Amino acid sequence: MAEVPVLVVVGPPGSGKTTIGTHVATALEVPFHDTDQAVEVAAGRSTSDIFVQDGEAAFRALERSEVLRALQQEAGAVVSLGGGAVLDADVRAALTAYDVVFLDVGIADAAGRVGFDASRPLLVVNPRASWQRLMTARRPLYEEVATWRVDTAGRSPQEVADAVLALLEAPESAGE
């Protein structure tokens, strides 16, 4: 088993990080770890509740701790990060040691996938404009940490997963 995660998945809300990460992990027959889900389990409440009750800074501290833990301890897994994890400089620095795929998505596809509902605390007020601002601010960070970028526009989850798997296999086949 690998000593580090086999892949880290990043991207904005609605990019399919959990769905694609699960597909890739299943295909590779390795565990899947979602850091947002791990934060919710550890806190005993939803991300939305953490945001409302404790504020974004408190959530980001929990997220940072979980991401850094997962990168060190989820050996051999596909690890999906929450959309805002890349905001943390320590997380970005840590990601330089891993293969990272940035799932790029446009607002039309993101809206169709997440519906911009109350479970997305940063998107509750004027969700489309909020998502656009969020993506404008985060795109350079996703690109900074990414080993690869995969455009998800108009593609099924299986097609995106297949594209990611092809990238993971490319370094090995390049040497053959």
Beta strand 32-34 pairing with 78-80: parallel
* pLDDT tens-digit map of 117-146: 444 554 455 566 776 788 888 999 999 999
Examine residue 82 and state whether it is found in any structural domain, yes or no: yes
Examine residue 89 and state whether it is found in any structural domain, yes or no: yes
Examine residue 31 and state whether it is found in any structural domain, yes or no: yes
pLDDT recorded at residue 121: 52
Distances (CA, A) of 38 to 35, 46, 63, 124: 5, 10, 9, 23
Provide the CATH number for the domain around residue 160: 3.40.50.300
**Percentage helix, strand, coil for the chain under 3-state DSSP, each rounded to 5:** 60, 10, 30
| Residue 149 lies in domain | 16-166
* pLDDT tens-digit map of 112-125: 555 544 445 544 55
What's the CA gap between 48 and 61, in Å, rounded? 15
Examine residue 5 and state whether it is found in any structural domain, yes or no: no
Examine residue 63 and state whether it is found in any structural domain, yes or no: yes
Q: How many domains does the chain have?
A: 1
Q: Which range scores top for mean pLDDT: 6-15, 76-85, 130-139?
A: 76-85
Cβ–Cβ under 8 Å, residues 150 and 24: no
Using the predicted structure, report yes or no on whether residue 107 has a pLDDT greater than 90. no
pLDDT recorded at residue 22: 98
Examine residue 151 and state whether it is found in any structural domain, yes or no: yes
Summary mean pLDDT of the chain: 86
Examine residue 8 and state whether it is found in any structural domain, yes or no: no
Q: Which amino acid is at 4?
A: V
How large a percentage of the chain has pLDDT more than 90?
66
* pLDDT tens-digit map of 146-166: 999 999 988 999 999 999 999
Examine residue 173 and state whether it is found in any structural domain, yes or no: no
- This prediction has a pTM of 0.85
